[in-house]
Amino acid sequence: MNRSAIAWALPAFLFLGCASPKNDPPPPTPSPAPVALLPAWEREPASVPDGTVVDATKLHRATLDNGLRLIMLQDRRLPYVSLGITVASGASSEELSQAGVAQFTAELMERGAGARDTLALAETMDALGARFGVGSGWDTTTVSVSGLSGDLTVLLEVLRDLVLDPRLPRDEAERVRAEQLAALESDKDSPRTLGARAFARTLYPDHRYGLPSSGTPETVKRLSARDARAFYDKIFVPRDAVFFASGNIDIAALSESARSLFGGWEDREPLAKPAPPPAEAPEATRVVIVDRPDLGQAQILVGHEGIARTDDRRIPAALTNLVLGGSGFSSRLMQKIRAEEGLTYSVSSYFTLRHNPGPFVMSTFTRVPETRRVVDILLAELARLQTDPPAGAELRDAKTLSTGRFALSLETPSAVTSSLVDLTIAELPDDSLDTYRTRVRNVSEADTAAIANTLLHPDRVAIVVVGPAAELEPQLNDLGPVEIQTP
Residue 174 pLDDT: 96
Name residue 414's amino acid.
S
- β-strand pairing of 357-367 with 112-113: unpaired
**471: Cα within 13 Å, side-chain hemisphere:** 17
Whether the link from the prior residue into 282 is cis, omega within 30° of 0, is yes
Residue 394 pLDDT: 97
If you ran DSSP here, which 8-state letter would residue 248 be given? S
Q: What is the largest CA-CA distance in the chain?
A: 95
Residue 18 pLDDT: 37
Rounded CA Rg of the chain: 28
Task: Check if the beta carbon of residue 135 is closer than 8 Å to that of residue 142.
Answer: yes
The C-alpha atoms of residue 34 and residue 38 are separated, in whole angstroms, by: 13
Write down the domain spans for the chain: 56-262, 286-485
The C-alpha atoms of residue 68 and residue 133 are separated, in whole angstroms, by: 20
Residue 104 pLDDT: 99
If you ran DSSP here, which 8-state letter would residue 166 be given? B
Who's near 342: CB < 8 A, 6+ residues apart?
A: none
Termini Cα distance of the chain = 77
The C-alpha atoms of residue 10 and residue 86 are separated, in whole angstroms, by: 54
Who's near 58: CB < 8 A, 6+ residues apart?
A: 73, 74, 75
Residue 376 pLDDT: 99
The C-alpha atoms of residue 378 and residue 376 are separated, in whole angstroms, by: 5
- Hey, CA dihedral for 311, 313, 316, 321, is it positive or negative? negative
Task: For the sheet with 141-148, list strands across it.
Answer: 59-63, 69-74, 241-247, 80-87, 141-148, 131-136
The C-alpha atoms of residue 94 and residue 274 are separated, in whole angstroms, by: 8
Residue 279 pLDDT: 56
Name the CATH topology of 56-262.
Cytochrome Bc1 Complex; Chain A, domain 1 (3.30.830)
* pTM (global) more than 0.85: yes
Residue 168 pLDDT: 98
Which listed CATH number (3.50.50.60, 2.30.22.10, 3.40.50.150, 3.30.830.10) goes with 286-485? 3.30.830.10
CA 350 from centroid of its chain's CA atoms: 11
Residue 401 pLDDT: 96
133, with CB counted inside 10 A (0-12, 13-18, 19+), is middle
Who's near 371: CB < 8 A, 6+ residues apart?
A: 298, 300, 465, 467, 472, 475, 476
The C-alpha atoms of residue 461 and residue 359 are separated, in whole angstroms, by: 11
CA 46 to each of CA 18, 49, 330, 388, 397: distance values in angstroms, whole numbers, following the listed order = 36, 9, 19, 26, 11
- β-strand pairing of 357-367 with 141-148: unpaired
Task: Check if the beta carbon of residue 448 is closer than 8 Å to that of residue 390.
Answer: yes
Task: Check if the beta carbon of residue 262 is closer than 8 Å to that of residue 87.
Answer: no
Residue 281 pLDDT: 57
Helices (H) and strands (E) in the chain, counts: 17, 14
Q: What is the mean pLDDT of each run of 10 residues along the chain (487 residues)?
A: 35 33 42 46 48 88 98 97 98 97 99 97 98 98 98 98 98 97 96 98 94 98 98 97 98 98 92 74 88 98 97 98 96 98 98 96 98 99 98 97 94 96 97 95 98 96 98 97 96
Task: Check if the beta carbon of residue 270 is closer than 8 Å to that of residue 240.
Answer: yes
